């Protein structure tokens, strides 16, 4: 026959096990939520960098076009074809 202390010991042990399991589940949930937030931050940063890359590419093409126009104006119609070269380089890198 079990004594009163054995019964209390079993209930304390069960309470500790339940508390441990609940704590572990809480840690797992918190870890997954943290990872989800980190993933969203990385996605946002990727979008921002893609937009920045697109703007820089367009600016480079515009500058090359302006240089071509200036070269043509000040050097009797000769063209450097810089715009075409840059477009070709950019299209090669994007594939």
Question: How is 7-25 classified by DSSP, letter by letter?
Answer: HHHHHHHHHHHHHHHHHHH
Q: What is the CA radius of gyration of the chain?
A: 33
pLDDT for 39 beyond 80: yes
Place of tokens 């920045």: 52
The predicted model gives 64-88 an average pLDDT of 80
Q: How is residue 86 written in tokens?
A: 């840059």
CA atoms within 13 A on the CB side of 6: 3
The rounded distance, in Å, linking the Cα atoms of 74 and 70 is 6
pLDDT for 35 beyond 90: no
pLDDT for 87 beyond 90: no
pLDDT band at 15 (very low <50, low <70, confident <90, very high): very high
- The more confidently predicted of residues 82 and 21 is 21
Predicted confidence at residue 46, as pLDDT, reads 96
pLDDT for 81 beyond 60: yes
């Amino acid at each position: 026959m079990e004594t009163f202390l054995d019964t209390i010991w079993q209930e304390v042990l069960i309470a500790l096990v339940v508390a441990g399991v609940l704590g572990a589940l809480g840690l797992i949930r918190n870890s997954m939520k943290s990872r989800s937030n980190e993933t969203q931050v990385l996605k946002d940063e990727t979008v921002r960098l893609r937009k920045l890359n697109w703007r820089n590419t367009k600016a480079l093409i515009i500058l090359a076009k302006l240089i071509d126009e200036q070269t043509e104006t000040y050097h009797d119609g000769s063209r450097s074809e810089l715009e075409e070269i840059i477009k070709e380089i950019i299209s090669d890198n994007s594939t």
